[in-house]
Amino acid sequence: MKISIINGPNLNLVGVREPEIYGHQSLAQYLDALVKKYPGVDFDLFQSNHEGAIIDEIQRVGFDCDGIVLNAGAYTHYSIAIADALRAVTAPAIEVHISDVQARESYRHVSMIKDACVTVIAGYGLDSYRRAVDYLINMKR
């Protein structure tokens, strides 16, 4: 099984950025440990601060992998282009957030990409990623 984990802008700074919201652990370190917990899954990890690069990555992996775990960061709230890319490919995608976006500023309550995803998993800290991986594995069963 192939799962692609795609992270958008500023997620490379998790561990340093606003630790009261996103925690003290780096995302790279967390994902490294996560990958090791699933030896049967072939993971592809990608992060970019650029919208077009995220779209290129969705197009690159989206016809080939079994699922996409996507934390599009702030692009979640306004990128119709990322939503269109998700609709264009065949792999199911899960929208993921570290923080509970519904409990934050009102502009974070809006998701342009949620309707292009099978579900949204948010507010569990970094464990949101593990929950999304399990969701995709259970979908395949």
Shortest distance, CB of residue 39 to ligand DQA, whole angstroms?
26
- Residues 92, 26, 127, 125: is their CA dihedral positive or negative? negative
# residues contacting ligand DQA (CB under 6 A): 10
What does the per-residue mask of binding to ligand DQA show for 46-85, with x meaning CB under 6 A? -------------------------x-xx-x---------
**Choices 58-66, 84-92, 93-101, 132-140 (CB under 6 A): range interacting with ligand DQA:** 93-101
User: Active-site residue numbers?
Assistant: 22, 97
CA 129, 32, 24, 78: dihedral to nearest 10 degrees? -40
Where does residue 41 rank: exposed (0-12), middle (13-18), buried (19+ CB within 10 A)?
Answer: middle
Residue in 68, 85, 97, 116 binding ligand DQA, rule: CB under 6 A: 97
Nearer of residues 5 and 90 to ligand DQA, judged by Cβ: 5
Contacts (CB under 6 A) with ligand DQA, residues 103-132: 108
Q: Given the rule CB under 6 A, which residues bind ligand DQA?
A: 10, 71, 73-74, 76, 97-99, 101, 108
